[in-house]
Amino acid sequence: MQIETTAVQALREHEHGAVVPPIHLASTFRLNPATEDGPFAYQRGANPTRAQLETVLAAIEGARHGFAFASGMAATAAALGLLSHGDEVILSATVYGGTFRFVDQVLPGRGVTGRFVPDLGDLTEEDFTPATRMVFVETPANPTLRITDLRRIAELAHRHGALVVVDNTFMTPVLQRPLALGADLVVQSATKYLAGHSDLLAGVVTTDRDDVAEAIALAQKALGGVLSPIDSYRLIQDIKTLPLRLGRQQANTVAIAEHLRGHDAVARVLTPGSHDDVEAAVHDSQASGPGAVVSFELAEGVDDVAFLRALTIPAFAVSLGGVESLICRPATMTHEAMTPEDRAGAGITDSLLRLAVGIEHEDDLIADLDAALAAAR
C-alpha cells in the first residue's frame, strides 16, 4: 500500500468494531498467577495503546520495529545510548542544537566522544578510527538544509562496523526512507510533522535490526521516557492526515522559496539542494520532495527585528511541522547551545531565519511576508 493508505489503515481491527482504537490508561495489568506473565504487565514496559502506535510507526516507515518516546530528544538519546565508554560518534557540525547539547555535554560523562565535522559529504575512510561506532546524520540539515548522501555514508560506515542513525524529522517517511537507503536506525521528533498540531511532545525510533530493537526496548523500560497512552492515541490519529498536511505545506514552501529568491529585500535563500548541483542530485535521488522548511537571510539594510514584528501569520517561535507557520532565529533559539565559533563553522549566521511553513493559503503567506519586508526597509 502507498503511505497515504498505510497511515490510515495500519490499524484495522478494534474492540466492538470501533473504527478508532480505544485508549488503555491502566498503569498495571492482571497477570496469570500460574505463569506470572501476560501480554502486558506495567505501562512503562508496554501498553496496548502505545503498542498500536508503534505498529503504525513501523508500518509507515516500512520497518520491522517501532518505538514511541516522550520526546524527540528522548528518542535521540536512546539511539545515542547504544554507544559505550570509549566509543566515538561522528556528526555534522550543523546538527540540531538539542542533539549537539546531548553529545557535547552528556556523552563525555559516559566516556563517549562526539566529533563534529563541517560536511559529512567529505567523509572518507581516513576519518574512521577503531573507536568510531556511529555516524549520526541529518539530511536535510537543520537549519542550513545541507544534504548528505545516505547510501554513501551507510556503505562507508558499515565497512568500519559503525551504525548509521538518521534524524528524519524534516522529511518524515512520506518523503524519505533512510532504512531503505542503508541506515540502521531512524529517529524523529514526532512533535513536528507526525503530530502536526504543536500540541504534544513525542519521539520515534524505527529499525529493521532485531539486536538494535532489543537495545532500544531496554532503553524504554530502563529509562522510562515512554509516551503516554493519551498522547499515543492522539498521535495515531494525527498520523492519518500526515501525507495530506505535508503535501500542502510542501507546496506552500516551494512557492514561498521561489518568491523570496526573486525579492530584492532577501539576500540568500536556502532549500534542500540549494548548496550545489551535487547536493541537489543526491537529494533528488533519495527523497521525493524538498519538505516544508526554508531558511533565508535578509538583504543589507533590512531590519530583521522589524520584519519579524511585522509578520501577522507566522509566529515567532521555535519548533516546526505544525499546521501553523512558525519562524525563528536558529542562532539564538534552536541552536543556542552551540558556541558562536561552532555556529560559524556550521554556517549558522546570526541573521539566518528559519521559516517552517504551515497549511495556510500560499497567497496569504506571501502577502504577509511581502508586507513585513516592506515594513522592515
Q: How far apart are CA 348 and CA 213, in angstroms?
A: 35
In the three-class reduction of DSSP (H, G, I as helix; E, B as strand; rest coil), residue 5 is classed as: helix
Kindly report the pTM of this predicted structure. Answer: 0.95
According to the model, what pLDDT value does residue 337 have?
A: 79
Report d(CA 178, CA 287) in Å as an integer: 9
Per-residue pLDDT, averaged over 342-349, amounts to 84
* Residue that finishes a domain, picked among 239, 264, 288: 239
pLDDT in tens, 286-337: 999 999 999 999 999 999 999 999 999 999 999 999 999 999 999 888 888 7
Portion of the chain with pLDDT greater than 90, in percent: 88
**Neighbouring C-beta atoms of residue 259, cutoff 10 Å:** 16
Kindly tell me if the per-residue pLDDT of 15 is higher than 80.
no
The phi and psi torsions of 316 (rounded to 5 degrees) equal -80, 100
Residues 177-205, mean pLDDT to the nearest whole number: 98
Q: Which of 213, 239, 265 is the last residue of a domain?
A: 239
The whole-number average pLDDT for the span 180-189 is 98
Q: Exposed, middle or buried by CB within 10 Å (0-12, 13-18, 19+), for 195?
A: buried
CB 354 within 8 A of CB 276: no
Q: What is the CATH number of the domain that holds 178?
A: 3.40.640.10
pLDDT of res. 172: 98
Q: Which are the catalytic amino acids?
A: 44, 96, 167, 192
Instruction: Please confirm whether the linkage preceding 21 is cis (ω < 30° from 0).
Output: no
CA 306/CA 316 separation, integer angstroms: 12
214 and 260 together in one domain: no
pLDDT confidence of residue 326: 98
Judge if 193 and 304 occupy the same domain: no
**247 lies in the same domain as 230:** no
Across the range 128-147, mean pLDDT stands at 97
Residues 98 and 195 reside in one and the same domain: yes
pLDDT above 80: residue 16? no
Question: Does residue 219 sit in the same domain as residue 75?
Answer: yes
Higher pLDDT residue, 336 or 11? Answer: 11
Tens-digit pLDDT profile for residues 18-71: 889 899 999 999 998 898 888 898 999 999 999 999 999 999 999 999 999 999
Name which of 34-43, 112-121, 195-204 the model is least confident about.
34-43
Give the per-residue pLDDT at 334: 81
Domain that holds residue 275: 243-375
Q: What is the average pLDDT value for the chain, to the nearest integer? A: 96
Domain count, the chain: 2
Strands, E assignment, the chain: 65-69, 88-92, 113-117, 132-138, 163-167, 185-189, 203-207, 266-270, 293-298, 315-316, 326-328, 353-356
Do residues 287 and 206 share a domain?
A: no
Q: Are residues 146 and 185 part of one domain?
A: yes
And the C-alpha cell for 116? Answer: 563534529
129 and 38 belong to one structural domain: yes
Q: Which domain-ending residue is among 216, 239, 262?
A: 239
